[in-house]
Amino acid sequence: MRSDVIYHVLSLFNDETLNDNAKYAMKFLTENDVNLTEITKEEELQKITQDLQLANEVQEEESILNIHKQEIRLTLLTSILEQQADNKLRKQIIEAGIVQQLIHIFETRNIDQIQ
């Protein structure tokens, strides 16, 4: 049930009209240690890394969808990191390869596609 609620709120990031509300809801969900653990477990961080690896050299429509998916995942990470005072999650993010994928995106993607 807990993960269903988390994934539902995460899916709301897709809706422009609900995006701000989803960020607000996620902020409160991550204040609970059990929720935070669910969101930041290793499998989820690996999914984020995989999403960041999505090829940019695909048809424009698919590329836009990939970029949007990446933005949602990074918005989630940002909202979590803004509330965390310790470095444990930052270390997990580095170890999961997320930082390396972000560097790759900055090096290879058209600057107009980076927000």
pLDDT, tens digit, 9 for 90 and up, residues 57-98? 555 667 777 887 888 888 888 888 887 777 888 899 999 999
pLDDT at site 61 = 66
| % of the chain beyond a pLDDT of 70 | 91
Alpha carbon 99 to its chain centroid, in Å, reads 12
Residue 73 CB neighbours (<10 A): 21
C-alpha 114: how far from its chain's center?
15
pLDDT for residue 81: 86
pTM of the model: 0.72
Please indicate whether residue 28 or residue 114 has the higher confidence score (pLDDT): 28
Q: Which of 61, 79, 101, 60 is nearest to 22 (CA)?
A: 79
Q: How confident is the model at residue 25 (pLDDT cuts 50, 70, 90)?
A: confident
State residue 100's pLDDT score: 93
